[in-house]
């Protein structure tokens, strides 16, 4: 686990150094412009969190407890992606995600950093490369406190509290997920 975070930290540091170098070398070449690339709500982690709200269980007294109220967020994670053009063929991709939260889960806010460059092998073609990394944006599910009468009160996975699994064993099934945090795109376009 520690090695992985060092690798990510090293990649972020290298990307920051590259961006700093490009910014310094291009600062006098042109005035920078920033453009919206994309704005959208939702993500695979938002969908996964909503799916956790499917189902429910019946209490000993016969009343139904639906998971949907615990996994319903009033705000869905919004992502904004931007491109700051440094040279005619080079830019910095950046953006953010707002995160989202409900009673029993949380998606952290996120930051996107990346780099885009293109070249023209001939007048009718473009070869482009982009690399982006996501920092943050993790999904974590929260436990419940369940009263098992004579057996005591336990911290449990809300969705598994009424099952046959021992209360303390349910915690290992809490969802902790990360977004896809590294993307590499290579694109070749030929116009004729």
Q: Residue 2's pLDDT is what? A: 36
How does the average pLDDT of the chain come out, rounded? 85
Dist CA 185 CA 16 (whole Å):
19
Which has more confidence, 7 or 33?
33
Q: Hey, where are the domains in the chain?
A: 2-190
Q: CB of 106 within 8 A of CB of 139?
A: yes
Q: pLDDT class for 30, splitting at 50, 70, 90?
A: low
Instruction: Say what the pLDDT of residue 151 is.
Output: 82
Judge whether 183 and 132 are in contact, CB under 8 Å: yes
| Out of 10-14, 44-48, 74-78, 160-164, least confident range | 10-14
In angstroms, how far is the first alpha carbon of the chain from the final one? 49
Q: pTM, whole model, 2 decimals?
A: 0.75
DSSP 20-33: HHHHHHHTTTS--E
Distance CA 127, CA 121 (A): 7
CB–CB of 126/189 below 8 Å? yes
């Amino acid at each position: 686990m520690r090695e992985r975070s060092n690798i990510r930290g090293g990649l972020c540091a290298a990307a920051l150094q590259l961006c700093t170098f490009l910014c310094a070398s291009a600062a006098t070449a042109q005035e920078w412009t920033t453009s919206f690339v994309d704005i959208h709500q939702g993500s695979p982690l938002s969908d996964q969190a909503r799916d956790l709200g499917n189902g429910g269980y019946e209490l000993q007294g016969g009343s139904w407890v639906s998971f949907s109220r615990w996994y319903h967020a009033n705000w869905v994670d919004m992502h904004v992606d931007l491109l700051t053009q440094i040279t005619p063929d080079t830019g910095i991709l950046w953006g953010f995600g707002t995160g989202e939260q409900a009673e029993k889960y949380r998606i952290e806010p996120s930051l996107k950093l990346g780099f885009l460059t293109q070249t023209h092998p001939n007048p009718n073609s473009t070869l482009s490369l982009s690399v982006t990394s996501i920092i943050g944006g993790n999904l974590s599910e929260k436990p419940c406190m369940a009263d098992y009468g004579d057996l005591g009160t336990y911290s449990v996975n809300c969705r598994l509290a009424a099952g046959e699994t021992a209360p303390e064993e349910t915690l290992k099934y809490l969802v902790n997920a990360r977004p896809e945090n590294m993307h590499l795109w290579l694109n070749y376009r030929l116009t004729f």
